[in-house]
């Protein structure tokens, strides 16, 4: 019997089946815990391969993963390019290939406590998705944004549906007194400095995914308890971790499993690099919903 032809699920279908990003939280928590459980967790996720396209200041990432517990097999192909002001294409473009783990056939393509003050540094694609999830999951009294190009921060504040956003003229103004700071920029040198940060704040560091790129300075890294998605990835790919020589306290999956504590009273950094297994569970979620005819 021949395999069914693969289907193409474009961004509209993805948005229909994944109408709120937070629908993925339970699957992502389980995936992180499985990833941090070694062989027992059933996750196979080699380090991603990143191909530099030096001539055009870009990169191609290849991110394969298999989850035995979800019985899901994927690979993401993602390009990320230094954003040119006049560019008509996004800085990041990705496709996730979902395979039938039983026979390797391609099934589908998939495009893809108390905190009062939330601060977002950056106003691109990740800024919007982090705003959506953080303001849905937590009640902030104040949300602030800073962006290198102020007009994009103003556009962000005008277009998001949710709590009002205050546009700040400097990163320091945005960060001062904030309880949660999200860094979602393409910066290659630090944009967040330790002396600005309120003790006990939490920093979600999402950008700087190359070994020589930084978003956070050494003081932030050294004076915080450091959580990562994957120790192996952080020690190979994160300039903030490698160059600061900051000690990794735990993988997020270990916190989900309860083998390492979430030290909420301390200043904490979660250095996220993105993991293929997250795409695996997301692709399965959307494909299962689509094939059930929802």
Ligand X SMILES: NC(=O)C1=CN([C@@H]2O[C@H](COP(=O)(O)OP(=O)(O)OC[C@H]3O[C@@H](n4cnc5c(N)ncnc54)[C@H](O)[C@@H]3O)[C@@H](O)[C@H]2O)C=CC1
Ligand Y SMILES: O=C(O)C1=NCCCC1
Site string for ligand Y, 202-241 (x = CB under 6 A): -------x--------------------------------
Q: Which does 37 bind (CB under 5 to 8 A by kind): ligand Y, ligand X, none?
A: none
In whole angstroms, how close is the CB of 22 to ligand X at the nearest point?
16
Query: How far is residue 73's CA from residue 62's CA, in Å, rounded to a whole number?
Result: 14
State yes or no: residue 124 binds ligand Y (CB under 6 A).
no
Residue number closest to ligand Y, CB atom: 274
State yes or no: residue 83 binds ligand Y (CB under 6 A).
no
State yes or no: residue 124 binds ligand X (CB under 6 A).
yes
User: Which residues, in sequence order, are bridge partners of residue 73?
Assistant: 66, 99
In whole angstroms, how close is the CB of 64 to ligand X at the nearest point?
16
State yes or no: residue 253 binds ligand X (CB under 6 A).
no
Dihedral angle, C-alpha 235, 233, 218, 182, nearest 10 °: -170
Query: How far is residue 30's CA from residue 48's CA, in Å, rounded to a whole number?
Result: 21
Nearer to ligand Y, 75 or 268 (CB): 75
State yes or no: residue 238 binds ligand X (CB under 6 A).
no
Q: Which of 27, 65, 67, 80 binds ligand X (CB under 6 A)?
A: 80
What is the sign, positive or negative, of the torsion defined by CA atoms of 5, 10, 12, 14?
positive
Q: Which does 115 bind (CB under 5 to 8 A by kind): ligand Y, ligand X, none?
A: none
State yes or no: residue 91 binds ligand X (CB under 6 A).
yes
Binding to ligand X, residues 147-166 (CB under 6 A): 147-149, 152
State yes or no: residue 92 binds ligand X (CB under 6 A).
yes
User: Which residues, in sequence order, are bridge partners of residue 50?
Assistant: 61
Q: Which among 14-22, 183-191, 236-244, 259-267 is the span making contact with ligand X, rule CB under 6 A?
A: 183-191
In whole angstroms, how close is the CB of 231 to ligand X at the nearest point?
15
Nearer to ligand Y, 167 or 281 (CB): 281
User: Residue count at the site for ligand X (CB under 6 A)?
Assistant: 25
Nearer to ligand X, 107 or 110 (CB): 110
183 within 8 A of 204, measured Cβ to Cβ: yes
Q: Which does 135 bind (CB under 5 to 8 A by kind): ligand Y, ligand X, none?
A: none
Nearer to ligand X, 37 or 91 (CB): 91
Q: Which does 69 bind (CB under 5 to 8 A by kind): ligand Y, ligand X, none?
A: none
Residues binding ligand X (CB under 6 A): 80, 83, 91-92, 122-127, 147-149, 152, 184-187, 191, 206-207, 209, 272-274
């Amino acid at each position: 019997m021949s395999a069914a032809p693969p289907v193409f699920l474009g961004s509209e279908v993805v948005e229909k089946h994944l109408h709120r990003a937070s629908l993925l939280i339970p699957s992502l928590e389980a995936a992180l815990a499985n990833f941090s459980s070694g062989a027992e967790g059933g996750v196979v996720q080699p380090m991603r391969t990143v191909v530099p396209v030096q001539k055009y200041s870009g990169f191609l990432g290849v991110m394969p993963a298999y989850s035995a517990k979800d019985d899901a097999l994927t690979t993401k192909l993602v390009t990320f390019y230094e954003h040119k002001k006049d560019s008509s294409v996004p800085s990041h473009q990705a496709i996730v290939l979902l395979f039938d783990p039983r026979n390797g056939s391609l099934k589908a393509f998939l495009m893809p406590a108390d905190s009062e003050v939330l601060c977002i540094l950056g106003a691109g694609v990740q800024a919007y998705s982090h705003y959506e999830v953080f303001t849905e999951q937590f009640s902030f009294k104040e949300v602030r944004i800073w962006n290198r190009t102020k007009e994009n921060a103003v556009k962000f504040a005008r277009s998001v549906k949710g709590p009002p956003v205050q546009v700040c003229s400097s990163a320091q103004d945005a960060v001062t007194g904030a309880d949660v700071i999200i860094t979602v920029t393409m910066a290659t040198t630090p944009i967040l400095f330790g002396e600005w940060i309120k003790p006990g704040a939490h920093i979600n560091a999402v950008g700087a995914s190359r070994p020589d790129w930084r978003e956070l300075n050494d003081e932030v890294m050294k004076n915080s308890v450091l959580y990562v998605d994957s120790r192996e990835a952080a020690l190979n790919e994160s300039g903030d971790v490698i160059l600061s020589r900051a000690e990794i306290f735990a993988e997020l999956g270990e916190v989900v499993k309860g083998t390492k504590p979430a030290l909420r009273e301390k200043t904490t950094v979660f250095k996220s690099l993105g993991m293929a297994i997250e795409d695996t569970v997301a692709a399965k979620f959307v494909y299962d919903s689509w094939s059930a005819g929802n």
